[in-house]
């Protein structure tokens, strides 16, 4: 007789577990094990960089096959609820509710996207979850549909929540106007304001409530201004003894406590003191440059987001820092012009903290061509991505065909910082010298 097969299949995970696995894949591991996983991933990245440099004819092999020494992962001071910014989507939930406010499980390619409430996600603070729940309550009573696909109509879209350690909360609601006139839009804005100030949403105690009409997936303030419906125009954060103003779309490290640890390391490794000038590329609201301003003669910041530059200038003035200048514009447009005529005899150190897209080729070219830059700190949240291209461009032998004519840099030290507990991501600080 054939033996009956015994089914050992595990029960299907709940939607909450699926979301946690998608957003915070390391959430089941004890924190020390999470750090070890991240250390191994960073070690492989440095091994890859060493191999790629070897292919370029550069002897970059250090012990363990790394391109430079790798320090242990610096833990985050806060492990749960550390995010100061969360972006929630509006889409169909597991129960079919088209006005579910949460995070996505699934992919657009497979057409299996489901929006799941983020109540159990460990890296999102309770205040963000509270605002998301209230936003869902508001749109559930609205006669207007959610905007799941632009061409199919609907209006209610994303919610961004930003909080600070000072107790401030900013909510930004994205709305697709479709064919609504100004009167109808004014009605919706008035209803939102009433809900979050006098209605059930008042429990959120919002510092700022913003509204943005957007017909695109992502829309800058310049393309479609953020409209302040209630409260203060900015929220404020304290970092390393300084106070920082934050606009709706300004970049600020998502883990404030972790950022303090990271910036302290930048300050130590930069070795810019006395008459040195610090070049802060992709400076955001000026956090890195301003935190180092007291130990250098001058700080020069470059940032593409205009509102962030306004914040940086305000932050400098408010904190009584007068040796900083900030330039608004794309780094690839501003920096080559800035450095081409650089004749200052003072030592010049550079810190770059680009987005996942990395630095534009022209930025790397300008850095290499400027002989005054002997020390460069590169902060990357995705070193295995486009940043790897930048590392190779910084370290490759001079190549006149690519206009990489300056003396090459060499990686000297790597320090990973766990800015994103429970996720696989890590912030890598790489020191280059020449």
**For residues 42 and 70, is the Cβ–Cβ distance under 8 A?**
yes
pLDDT of 408 reads 94
Active-site choice (282, 370, 381, 426): 381
Known catalytic membership, residue 381 = yes
In a domain, 59, yes or no: no
Sheet holding 169-175, edge to edge: 114-116, 100-105, 85-91, 156-163, 169-175, 208-213, 227-231
pLDDT of 338 reads 85
- Is 42 annotated to bind ligand? no
Q: Are residues 122 and 226 in the same domain?
A: yes
- Is 303 annotated to bind ligand? yes
Q: Are residues 291 and 393 in the same domain?
A: yes
- Is 17 annotated to bind ligand? no
Q: Are residues 287 and 428 in the same domain?
A: yes
Indicate the number of domains in the chain: 2
pLDDT of 328 reads 92
CA distance 130 to 89: 15
**Residue 159 is part of a domain; what is its CATH number?**
2.40.50.1070
Q: Are residues 167 and 227 in the same domain?
A: yes
In a domain, 413, yes or no: yes
pLDDT < 70 regions, the chain: 1-10, 108-110, 219-222
Closest CA to 335 of 283, 408, 267, 276: 283
In a domain, 303, yes or no: yes
Q: Are residues 144 and 216 in the same domain?
A: yes
Q: Are residues 199 and 259 in the same domain?
A: no
In a domain, 204, yes or no: yes
Q: Are residues 229 and 303 in the same domain?
A: no
Which phi and psi (to 5°) does residue 31 adopt?
-60, -40
For the whole model, what pTM was predicted?
0.90
In a domain, 403, yes or no: yes
Structural domain for 263, as ranges: 255-433
Q: Are residues 229 and 327 in the same domain?
A: no
Q: Are residues 386 and 350 in the same domain?
A: yes
H helix or E strand, kind and range, residue 229: strand 227-231
Query: Three-state SS across 130-188?
Result: HHHHHHHHHHHCCCCCECCCHHHCCCEEEEEEEECCCCCEEEEEEECCCCCCHHHHHHH
Q: Are residues 211 and 295 in the same domain?
A: no
pLDDT of 349 reads 92
**Residue 401 is part of a domain; what is its CATH number?**
3.40.50.150
In a domain, 133, yes or no: yes
pLDDT of 7 reads 53
DSSP string, 273-334: -TT-EEEEET-TTTHHHHHHGGGSSEEEEEES-HHHHHHHHHHHHHTT--SEEEEES-HHHH
Alpha carbon separation from 125 to 132, 364, 421 (Å, rounded): 11, 37, 13
Q: Are residues 141 and 230 in the same domain?
A: yes
Show Cβ contacts of residue 264 under 8 Å, excluding neighbours closer than 6 positions.
240
Within 10 angstroms of residue 315's Cβ, the number of other Cβ atoms is: 25
In a domain, 16, yes or no: no
pLDDT of 106 reads 82
């Amino acid at each position: 007789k054939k033996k009956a097969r015994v089914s050992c299949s595990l029960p299907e995970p709940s939607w909450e577990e699926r979301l946690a696995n998608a957003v915070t894949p390391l959430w089941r591991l004890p924190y020390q094990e999470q750090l070890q996983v991240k250390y191994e991933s960073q070690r492989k990245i440095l091994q890859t960089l060493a191999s790629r440099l070897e292919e370029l004819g550069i002897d970059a092999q250090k012990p363990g096959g790394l391109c430079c020494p790798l320090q242990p992962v610096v833990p985050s001071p806060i492990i749960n609820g550390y995010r100061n910014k969360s972006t929630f989507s509006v889409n169909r939930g597991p129960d079919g509710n088209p006005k579910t406010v949460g995070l996505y499980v699934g992919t657009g390619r497979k057409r299996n996207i489901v929006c799941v409430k983020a109540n159990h996600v460990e890296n999102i603070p309770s205040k963000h979850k509270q605002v998301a729940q209230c936003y869902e309550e508001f749109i559930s009573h609205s006669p207007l549909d959610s905007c799941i696909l632009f061409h199919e109509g609907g209006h209610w879209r994303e919610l961004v929540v930003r909080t600070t350690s000072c107790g401030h909360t900013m909510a930004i609601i994205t709305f697709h106007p479709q064919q609504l006139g100004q009167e109808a839009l004014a009605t919706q804005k008035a209803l939102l304001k009433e809900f979050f100030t006098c209605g059930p949403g008042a429990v959120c105690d919002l510092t700022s409530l913003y509204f943005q009409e957007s017909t695109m997936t992502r829309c800058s303030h310049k393309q479609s201004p953020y409209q302040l419906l209630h409260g203060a125009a900015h929220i404020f954060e304290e970092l390393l003894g300084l106070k920082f103003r934050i606009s709706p779309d300004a970049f600020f490290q998502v883990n404030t406590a972790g950022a303090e640890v990271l910036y302290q390391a930048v300050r130590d490794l930069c070795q810019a003191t006395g008459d040195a000038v610090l070049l802060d590329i992709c400076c955001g609201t000026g956090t890195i440059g301003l935190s180092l301003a007291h130990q250098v003669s001058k700080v020069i910041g470059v940032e593409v987001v205009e509102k962030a530059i306004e914040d940086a200038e305000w932050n400098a003035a408010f904190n009584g820092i007068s040796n900083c200048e900030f330039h608004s514009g794309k780094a690839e447009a501003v920096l080559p012009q800035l450095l081409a005529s650089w004749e200052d005899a003072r030592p010049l150190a550079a810190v770059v903290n680009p987005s996942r897209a990395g630095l534009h080729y022209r930025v790397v070219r300008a850095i290499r061509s400027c002989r005054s830059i002997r020390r460069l700190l590169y902060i990357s949240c995705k070193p295995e991505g486009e940043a790897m291209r930048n590392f190779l461009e910084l370290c490759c032998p001079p190549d006149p065909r690519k206009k990489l004519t300056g003396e090459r840099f060499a990686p000297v030290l790597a320090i990973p910082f766990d800015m994103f507990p429970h996720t696989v991501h890590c912030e890598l600080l790489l020191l280059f010298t020449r």
